[in-house]
């Protein structure tokens, strides 16, 4: 307690009065634990190669956190690629109680153990927060006879596997979405895994596949140049931007398919609750900054915070949902 | 045509602003350094520097990042030639012949011809980019899985003719490479293959540890057997630069390498590494002295180095014209654009003329910077080889292992590199060619996934490889590449037998 108090006094000198009062309000508002900043640089471990979406998001977040002096420790985004995020996950799992390491949470942290039959990872980490969400849009070639989701399902019913869907690796988000659509519509698609989203998009633009799953920021330029026809957004509600407000959800079209991507942070096993609190507060402040809001808008993402108090439950739910879908598409090795 | 010239003039105006010039210079210098360090390639280097581009204008940021991308192609040559460790993936072919040349005291020539070839091919590719990008982008889209499979197959079958040794040994080593590439995650089913339950092997065996081990470490191990009184490589000043004869030998190699590289780079599924390999095997077909390939062919170095640079530029075409990444590096460029609030896509060229044309113009300037940097430095770097090998060897080991560590930041890659170093040493002892193995590891992933994707696209019909005009053409090339060594061998046997028979005949007639 004493140590925490002294670190707050130090912050008072460094940061000035305004930010400290914010620490106080947030710190005492939720009661049980006091936020405590670790000393020295903090590593944000990421499992994608540099430039991948989670990597870009965390680099952006780290920059804003440092620039706005929400976190004064140097934040280093480190790419520990390999093993479909398992190298990054194992690195952090082995850092038991280390306050200077956090792991980027992305779908593979949940799905790789399921598809590879490995012990689960998410429940061994100390969840901090899920705070970035992305929507998905379903699109067909502009010359496709399918004008809406119903048209697509009717077309797929004519002959099994006649509609080719391009996407990234087996077990990826694209694959899961295709599986959900198959189940909801009672049809079978011909899912072809390419080496990542870019390659799938190339195959789509070249007319080699008929359908694709894209993020809003990926589909927008294709819509504007009439190279793709969006059929549905797979969120609960329509997006509100002028570009997307006319695009109906799958639910509106009678197919109950809601799926998206989400990202966040978790600490190693046995992370000190004070460090969790420190991060939780930092993320609350991060999402309130204008810089973060404009970054999120630019990339057509959402930023709804699942705080540390609910993160564990939230991740357990994510695990169950992913497990169910992966079982349906025959990709689950664990039960 | 006139429009293009006007836009290009405008782009030059943008690129010649002092801040932009400074950032282009910084970009190419960083690229040169990042390229020379094994392990981190241009794409990783660009991504590491992404955050510092947030505050600067989009055009400036892109010019700098692109500078790293093609600067890396120049830089990678250095380590390949001097220490036989590919500085980045696309320089793997350069390590084969460039290092042999260095041993013959011709490192300076190899480095100079690489710089000149990279420069000429780079400028040619930028010109094509400026004038015909949209048409070329549409052409690139016609390449899909069947064509990629045949392209990779062409590369693998051509390995039979790489190196002076027997084609059978080369093919066997290529098959071993394919087996190594089987380790990892099945690209279609997503199930683990030959990983023995270790998560380190889930993503397969990256080819950099294989290349660094087989080339760099194996050479060092092999050198331990030599006695210590060997003289340092004698490099006379006059051997440092290109002679008129060298230039005459390499002119066409640069042209052919540049063309092959450009078209391969254009295709979103291939990249500078595949481009360099295909340019190398193409050059061997055309060269006047194919027997020198593998033991120090200057035109082989010229072809593959020209190819990787023009491929790096060619990959920008699908990115700028369609918004799809043609390589790992252009994927990072795309990410940079997105982070700057620019949405890349088919309309980019008309919506962001400052950015697109500024970038095109900056590449002319950047390539000039790189040529000016590299030409005088070539003899300087080559002079490093005057250091006796027993002092150089520990340095090579350190560079190799740090490079291996940098590929995944794990000690597992270091162990893997040492393991392949041992394999490489045994291969030298058994007189087995190493390049085919490395090439197969590079090409296998593309070959396997595109074969299986093709068959899924055609719902199982093999006709997909003949029906499409481009794949039919490639199929013929693959057949020719397989048949040529066999025909050559047959002809040789026949000639010998004929010779033998006639001599026998004369004998009996007596």
Distance, in Å, from the CA atom of A61 to the CA atom of B416, rounded to the nearest integer, reads 35
Asked whether residue A68 falls in the same domain as residue A127, the answer is: yes
pLDDT at A12 over 80: no
User: With pLDDT > 90 as the criterion, what percentage of chain A qualifies?
Assistant: 73
Q: What is the mean pLDDT of chain A?
A: 88
Q: Nearest CB to B324: which of A116, A198, A295?
A: A198
Query: With contacts defined as CB-CB under 8 Å, which chain A residues touch B194?
Result: none
pLDDT at position B158 is 80
Q: Tell me the pLDDT tens digit for each residue of B486-498.
A: 777 777 778 777 7
Chain-chain contact of B347 with A225 (C-beta, under 8 angstroms): yes
Tell me whether A201 touches chain B (CB under 8 Å): yes
CB atoms within 10 A of CB B350: 8
Q: Give B231's DSSP letter.
A: P
A233, A252, A286 — which closes off a domain? Answer: A233
Query: With contacts defined as CB-CB under 8 Å, which chain A residues touch B344?
Result: 221
CB atoms within 10 A of CB A186: 9
Q: Counting one residue from A and one from B, how many pairs have CB atoms under 8 Å apart?
A: 153
How far does Cα B134 stand from its chain's mean position? 25
* pTM beyond cutoff 0.90: no
CB atoms within 10 A of CB B25: 18
Chain-chain contact of A51 with B43 (C-beta, under 8 angstroms): yes
Q: Tell me, yes or no, whether A248 lies in a domain.
A: no
Asked whether residue A128 falls in the same domain as residue A194, the answer is: no
* Nearest chain B residue (CA) to A84: B203
Asked whether residue A70 falls in the same domain as residue A130, the answer is: yes
Lowest model confidence (mean pLDDT) among A96-100, A188-192, B280-284? B280-284
Mean pLDDT of all residues in A238-261: 95
In sequence order, what are the beta bridge partners of A232?
A138
Q: Tell me the pLDDT tens digit for each residue of B367-377.
A: 999 999 998 88
B interface test, pick of A43, A50, A173 with most B CB neighbours within 10 Å: A50
Chain-chain contact of A49 with B410 (C-beta, under 8 angstroms): no
Q: Tell me, yes or no, whether A249 lies in a domain.
A: no
pLDDT at position B429 is 93
Asked whether residue A11 falls in the same domain as residue A125, the answer is: yes
Distance, in Å, from the CA atom of A151 to the CA atom of A231, rounded to the nearest integer, reads 10
Chain-chain contact of A115 with B325 (C-beta, under 8 angstroms): no
Q: What is the mean pLDDT of chain B?
A: 86
Q: Nearest CB to A169: which of B144, B190, B323?
A: B190
Asked whether residue A186 falls in the same domain as residue A123, the answer is: no
Mean pLDDT of all residues in A12-28: 41
Q: Nearest CB to B343: which of A84, A208, A221?
A: A221
How many C-alpha atoms does B157 have within 13 Å on its Cβ side? Answer: 20
Q: Tell me the pLDDT tens digit for each residue of A66-103.
A: 999 999 999 998 888 877 898 899 999 999 999 999 99
Q: Tell me, yes or no, whether A244 lies in a domain.
A: no
Mean pLDDT of all residues in A92-116: 95
Asked whether residue A204 falls in the same domain as residue A293, the answer is: no
Q: Tell me, yes or no, whether A182 lies in a domain.
A: yes
Asked whether residue A38 falls in the same domain as residue A127, the answer is: yes
- Our count of domains for chain A comes to 2
pLDDT at position B506 is 46
Query: With contacts defined as CB-CB under 8 Å, which chain B residues touch A208?
Result: 144-145, 457
Asked whether residue A228 falls in the same domain as residue A310, the answer is: no
For the CA atoms of B150, B155, B159, B160, what is the dihedral angle to 10 degrees?
A: 20
pLDDT at position A158 is 94
Asked whether residue A149 falls in the same domain as residue A109, the answer is: no
Query: With contacts defined as CB-CB under 8 Å, which chain B residues touch A200?
Result: none
> What is the interface pTM, i.e. ipTM, of the complex?
0.83
Asked whether residue A322 falls in the same domain as residue A229, the answer is: no
Q: What is the CATH number of the domain that holds A217?
A: 3.40.190.10
Mean pLDDT of all residues in A12-38: 50
pLDDT at position A43 is 96
pLDDT at position B234 is 57
> Which domain range does residue A121 map to?
2-134+261-328
Asked whether residue A84 falls in the same domain as residue A173, the answer is: no
Distance, in Å, from the CA atom of A59 to the CA atom of A230, rounded to the nearest integer, reads 30
Asked whether residue A183 falls in the same domain as residue A224, the answer is: yes
> B166 in the Ramachandran plot: left (φ > 0), alpha (ψ -120 to 50) or beta?
beta
CA distances from B303 to A78, B114, B255, B260, B277 (A): 36, 8, 8, 9, 9
pLDDT at position B395 is 86
Q: What is the CATH number of the domain that holds A297?
A: 3.40.190.150
Q: Tell me, yes or no, whether A245 lies in a domain.
A: no
Mean pLDDT of all residues in A160-178: 93
pLDDT class of A1 with cuts at 50, 70, 90: very low
Nearest C-alpha neighbor of B44 from the set A110, A48, A278: A48
A185, A218, A233 — which closes off a domain? Answer: A233
Q: Tell me the pLDDT tens digit for each residue of B168-225.
A: 888 899 999 999 999 988 888 888 889 888 878 888 898 889 999 999 899 889 888 8
Q: Tell me, yes or no, whether A251 lies in a domain.
A: no
What are the strands of the beta sheet with A75-79, ordered from one edge?
A: A75-79, A42-46, A101-105, A261-267, A126-134, A301-302
pLDDT at position A15 is 39
Q: Tell me, yes or no, whether A105 lies in a domain.
A: yes
Tell me whether A11 touches chain B (CB under 8 Å): no
Tell me whether A76 touches chain B (CB under 8 Å): no
Query: With contacts defined as CB-CB under 8 Å, which chain B residues touch A170?
Result: 186-190
Judge residue B4's burial from the number of C-beta atoms within 10 Å of its C-beta, 0-12 exposed, 13-18 middle, 19 or more buried. Answer: middle
Window A:208-247, CB contacts with B under 8 Å: 208-209, 217, 220-222, 224-225, 227
Mean pLDDT of all residues in B305-319: 93
Query: Higher confidence at residue B101 or residue B508?
Result: B101
A interface test, pick of B183, B197, B199 with most A CB neighbours within 10 Å: B199
Distance, in Å, from the CA atom of B205 to the CA atom of B420, rounded to the nearest integer, reads 11
Query: With contacts defined as CB-CB under 8 Å, which chain B residues touch A331?
Result: 190
Distance, in Å, from the CA atom of B317 to the CA atom of B269, rounded to the nearest integer, reads 13
Q: Tell me the pLDDT tens digit for each residue of B347-387.
A: 888 888 889 999 999 999 999 999 999 988 888 888 887 78
What are the structural domain ranges in chain B? Answer: 2-226+242-509
pLDDT at B72 over 60: yes
Mean pLDDT of all residues in B13-36: 94
pLDDT at position B23 is 95
Tell me whether A297 touches chain B (CB under 8 Å): no
A213, A233, A253 — which closes off a domain? Answer: A233
pLDDT at position A8 is 40
Q: Tell me, yes or no, whether A77 lies in a domain.
A: yes
CA distance B269 to chain A (A): 7
């Amino acid at each position: 307690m004493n140590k925490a108090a002294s670190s707050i006094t130090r912050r008072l000198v460094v940061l000035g009065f305004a930010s400290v009062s914010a620490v106080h309000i947030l710190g005492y508002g939720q009661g049980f634990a006091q936020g405590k900043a670790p000393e020295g640089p903090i590593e944000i471990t990421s499992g994608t190669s540099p430039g991948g979406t989670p990597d870009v998001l965390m680099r952006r977040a780290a920059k804003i956190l440092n620039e706005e002096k929400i976190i004064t420790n140097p934040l280093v985004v480190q790419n520990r690629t390999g093993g479909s995020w398992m190298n990054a996950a194992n690195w952090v799992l082995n850092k038991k109680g280390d306050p200077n390491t956090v792991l980027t949470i992305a779908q593979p942290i949940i799905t790789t153990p399921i598809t590879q039959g490995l012990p689960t990872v998410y429940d061994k980490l100390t969840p901090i927060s899920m705070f970035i969400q992305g929507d998905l849009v379903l699109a067909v070639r502009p010359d496709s006879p399918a004008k809406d989701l119903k048209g697509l399902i009717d077309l797929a019913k004519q002959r099994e596997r006649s509609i080719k869907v391009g996407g990234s690796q087996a077990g990826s988000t694209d694959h899961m979405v295709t599986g959900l659509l198959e189940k909801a519509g009672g049809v079978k698609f011909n899912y072809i895994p390419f080496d990542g989203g870019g390659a799938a998009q190339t195959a789509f633009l070249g007319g080699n596949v008929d359908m694709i799953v894209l993020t809003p920021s990926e589909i927008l330029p294709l819509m504007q140049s009439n190279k793709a026809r969006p059929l549905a957004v797979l969120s609960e509600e329509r997006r509100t931007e002028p570009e997307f407000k006319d695009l109906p959800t799958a639910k509106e079209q009678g197919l109950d398919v809601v799926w998206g991507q989400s990202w966040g942070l978790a600490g190693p096993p046995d992370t000190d609750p004070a460090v969790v609190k420190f991060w939780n507060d930092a993320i609350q402040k991060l999402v309130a900054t204008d810089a973060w809001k404009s970054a999120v808008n630019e990339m057509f993402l959402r930023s709804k915070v699942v705080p540390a108090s609910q993160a564990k439950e939230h991740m357990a739910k994510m695990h169950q949902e992913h497990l169910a879908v992966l079982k349906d598409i025959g990709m689950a090795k664990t039960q | 045509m006139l429009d293009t010239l006007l836009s290009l003039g405008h782009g030059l105006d943008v690129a010649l602003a002092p801040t932009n010039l400074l950032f282009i210079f910084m970009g190419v210098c960083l690229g040169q350094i990042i390229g020379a360090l094994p392990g981190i390639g241009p794409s990783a280097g660009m991504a590491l520097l992404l955050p510092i581009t947030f505050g600067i204008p989009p055009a400036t940021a892109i010019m700098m990042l692109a500078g790293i991308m093609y600067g890396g192609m120049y830089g990678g040559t250095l380590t390949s030639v001097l220490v036989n460790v590919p500085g980045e993936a696309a320089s793997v072919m350069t390590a084969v012949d460039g290092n042999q040349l260095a041993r013959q005291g011709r490192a300076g020539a190899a480095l100079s011809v690489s710089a000149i070839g990279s420069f000429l091919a780079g400028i040619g590719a930028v010109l094509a980019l400026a004038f015909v990008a949209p048409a070329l982008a549409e052409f690139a889209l016609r390449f899909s899985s069947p064509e990629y499979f045949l392209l990779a197959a062409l590369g693998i079958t051509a390995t039979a003719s790489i190196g002076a040794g027997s084609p059978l040994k080369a093919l066997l080593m290529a098959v071993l490479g394919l087996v190594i590439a089987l380790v990892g995650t099945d690209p279609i089913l997503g199930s683990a293959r030959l990983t023995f339950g270790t998560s380190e092997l889930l993503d397969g065996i990256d080819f950099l540890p294989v290349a660094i081990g087989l080339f760099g470490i194996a050479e060092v191990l092999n050198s331990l057997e030599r006695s210590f009184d060997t003289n340092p490589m004698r490099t006379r000043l006059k051997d440092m630069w290109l002679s008129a004869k060298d230039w005459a030998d390499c002119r066409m190699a640069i042209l052919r390498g540049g063309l092959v590289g450009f078209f391969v780079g254009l295709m979103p599924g291939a990249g500078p590494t595949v481009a360099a390999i295909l340019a190398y095997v193409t050059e061997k077909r055309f060269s006047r002295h194919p027997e020198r390939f593998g033991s120090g062919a200057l035109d082989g170095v010229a072809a593959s180095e020209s190819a990787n640079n023009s491929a790096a530029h060619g990959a920008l075409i699908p990115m700028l014209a369609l918004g799809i990444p043609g390589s790992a590096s252009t994927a990072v460029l795309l990410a940079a654009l997105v982070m700057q609030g620019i949405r890349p896509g088919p309309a980019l060229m008309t919506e962001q003329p400052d950015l697109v044309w500024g970038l095109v113009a900056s590449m002319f300037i950047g390539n000039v910077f790189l040529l000016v940097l590299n030409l005088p430095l070539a003899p300087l770097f080559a002079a490093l080889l005057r250091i006796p090998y027993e002092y150089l060897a520990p340095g090579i080991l350190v560079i190799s292992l740090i490079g291996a560590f940098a590929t995944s930041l794990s000690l597992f890659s270091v162990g893997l590199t040492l393991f392949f170093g041992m394999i490489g040493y045994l291969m030298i002892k058994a007189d087995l060619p190493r390049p085919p193995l490395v090439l197969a590891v590079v090409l296998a992933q593309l070959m396997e996934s595109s074969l299986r994707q093709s068959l899924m696209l055609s719902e199982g019909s093999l006709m997909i490889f003949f029906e499409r005009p481009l794949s039919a053409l490639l199929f013929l090339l693959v057949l020719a590449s397989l048949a040529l060594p066999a025909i050559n061998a047959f002809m040789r046997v026949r000639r010998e037998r004929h010779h033998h028979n006639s001599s026998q005949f004369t004998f009996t007639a007596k």
